[in-house]
Homo-oligomer: A and B are copies of this chain.
Amino acid sequence: MYSMTNRRLVILTEGRLDVFSAKTAVSVIRYRKEDVVALIDRVNAGKDIESIIGIGKGIPIVSTIAETLHLKPTALLIGIAPPGGMLPAEWRKHITDALINKLHIISGLHCHLDDDPEFCKLAHDHQREIWDVRKPPEDIPLGSGKAKETKTLRILTVGSDCNIGKMVTSIEIANAAKKRGFNACFVATGQTGIMIDGSGIAVDHVISDFISGAAEKLVIDRSHYHLLSIEGQGTIVHPAYSGVTLGLLHGAAPQGLILCHQPTRKTLRHFANFPILPLPYLIDLYEKLAQPVHPCKVIGISLNCFGMTDHDALQEIQKVEKETKLPATDPIKFGVNKFIDGIRPLLP
């Protein structure tokens, strides 16, 4: 497994550098900025990264691997997660350049780069590793329903859509809990979370009969922690990804859910025919679905108020708190202390 220490990452975004398309890049910069030495993005080369994504001050954007070599990079990280996870053809050259220049490759794409004969040979010749983050471990069991027998407090993020703040919320909860001295752990279930944390299973990439088993394994392997802040996936009402969401909900058997939502989003991302549902409908549905396997409650609403002023965000938070009778916050703008206050009394 690729080492998480002393990383010097070059991140490939290639023209897709915005907060939503380059979710992986943005999140790695947010939580592992000290590891990132440059971005490769021909369209945005030379521009100021902070003016584009609001974070990352000082990280240069360039066009080629060659321009990053003086920064002594150790790995090229594929920084987007396109629908379907396939590798855009024009990116191949960056990957071969990286391997030739002795960089490791970190990828969260559905297609496994280490199954590619050309990449595989180059990696072998230059003694580099290709870390296909989404490749699941081989020892995932079928679900047994046993995560609920662990003593740890399991808090899972769920959402009104994909790509809406579940990973960020789960990381922020784990970090805030640790700051308060709790024995807490972030549990990554998607490629970006795994790249940030160094461990986890991409539950959207296991054989579908094993989704719950993967979630259960993640919980049981970490059950010595008092608090597991588990990254959710998708949404229960998604025409493409709902199966992953539900398998994760039943496998992880959380006692508490944090429902993530973006107030400005009116339809599912990339699925304009599917409106985002009202929060009370979603709360009821998540709780009803969890109930027969392991009863749990939604204990907070995490709002992604990206693009809103702080004033508007606060108004939205108040509105949602009134509507749902639950604590709400925007983790990036205002932190997650409200959630930690609710979680504290539930700790074992």
- CB within 8 Å for A242 and B246 given contacts A142-B84, A208-B204: yes
In the assembled complex, A237 has its CB within 8 A of some CB on chain B: yes
CB-CB under 8 A for A242 and B237, given A208-B208, A292-B277? no
The number of times this chain is found in the oligomer is: 2
A199 smallest CB distance to B (angstroms): 19
Which of B83, B212, B239, B285 interacts with A251 by CB under 8 Å? B239
Q: Are B250 and A239 in contact (CB under 8 A)?
A: yes
Chain B, Cβ-Cβ closest to A248: B243
Chain B hits for A110, CB < 8 A: 207, 209
Given A145-B273, A288-B285; A208-B238 close (CB under 8 Å): no
* Chain B CB within 8 A of A203 CB: yes
- Contacting A240 at CB < 8 Å: which of B142, B245, B273? B142
Tell me the bound Cα distance from A52 to B238 in angstroms.
Answer: 44
Which chain B positions have C-beta within 8 A of A285?
288-289
Known: A208-B206, A236-B246. A241 touches B292 (CB 8 A): no
Tell whether, in the assembled complex, residue A145 and residue B209 are in contact, meaning their CB atoms are under 8 Å apart: no
B236 touches A212 (CB 8 A): no
Tell yes or no: A247 within 8 A of B by CB: yes
Q: Is A2 an interface residue (CB 8 A)?
A: no
Contact pattern, A 193-237, Cβ under 8 Å of B = 1, otherwise 0: 000000000011111111111000000000000000000000011
For A247, list chain B residues within 8 Å (CB).
208, 242-244
Tell me whether B244 and A208 are in contact (CB under 8 A): yes
**Neighbouring B residues of A206 by C-beta, 8 Å:** 207-208
Give 18 CB contacts A-B under 8 Å. A84-B141, A85-B209, A145-B240, A205-B209, A207-B207, A208-B210, A209-B240, A211-B243, A211-B244, A212-B240, A237-B250, A237-B293, A242-B250, A242-B293, A243-B245, A243-B246, A243-B248, A285-B289
* Residue A274 is within 8 A (CB to CB) of chain B in the complex: yes
